[in-house]
């Protein structure tokens, strides 16, 4: 299994240690040509969920994990892959020291659109901070529009 490119709340090393305890952090990098966006979720009243979509002018900060086989099913379950919320895809990640590497990530099986909650955006920004994302990336997360509550 290639590396796992974690974005959104899975950037939080504590969360990854809980959902994939045998899978060490390998590196950080960028999904070049992809954009962090939100979709689905609003029907449940929880706000839209994070996903990535292709966008030539954008990039998404990711943490790369070397996922052990015995953590794979647990991580898929954590992301709702076992019930069809997210699907795995292969992506290319640009790292500072290793150049371009192949990884897999989860994408939302729903439409793009809708707003996340303020609480969810703050979770994503805090996770990005913990993973070492640049300040401008974290500030962008915190300044995004969210569901009015």
Question: Catalytic residue numbers?
Answer: 79
Q: Which residue has 């640049």 as its token pair?
A: 134
In this structure, the strands spanning 25-39 and 3-6 are unpaired
- Residue 7 labeled ligand binder: no
Percentages of the chain per state (helix, strand, coil), in multiples of 5: 35, 40, 30
Q: Which structure tokens are listed for 41?
A: 């979720």
State in Å, rounded, how far the first CA of the chain is from the last one: 41
How many Cβ atoms from other residues are within 10 Å of residue 134's Cβ?
Answer: 10
Distance CA 85, CA 136 (A): 29
DSSP state of 25: E
Distance CA 10, CA 124 (A): 8
Annotated binding-site positions for substrate: 120
- Residues marked as binding? 120
């Amino acid at each position: 299994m290639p590396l796992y490119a974690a974005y959104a709340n899975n950037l939080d090393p504590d969360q990854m240690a809980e959902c994939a305890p045998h899978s060490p952090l390998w590196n950080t990098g960028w999904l070049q040509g992809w954009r962090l966006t939100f979709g689905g979720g609003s029907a449940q009243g929880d706000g839209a969920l994070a996903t990535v979509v292709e966008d030539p002018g954008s990039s998404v900060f990711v943490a790369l994990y070397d996922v052990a086989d015995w953590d794979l099913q647990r991580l898929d379950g954590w992301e709702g892959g076992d019930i069809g919320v997210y699907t795995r895809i292969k992506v290319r990640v640009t790292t500072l020291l290793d150049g371009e590497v192949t990884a897999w990530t989860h994408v939302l099986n729903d439409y793009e659109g809708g707003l996340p909650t303020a609480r969810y955006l703050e979770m994503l920004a805090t996770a990005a901070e913990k993973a070492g994302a640049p300040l401008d990336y974290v500030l962008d997360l915190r300044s995004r529009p969210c569901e009015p509550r």
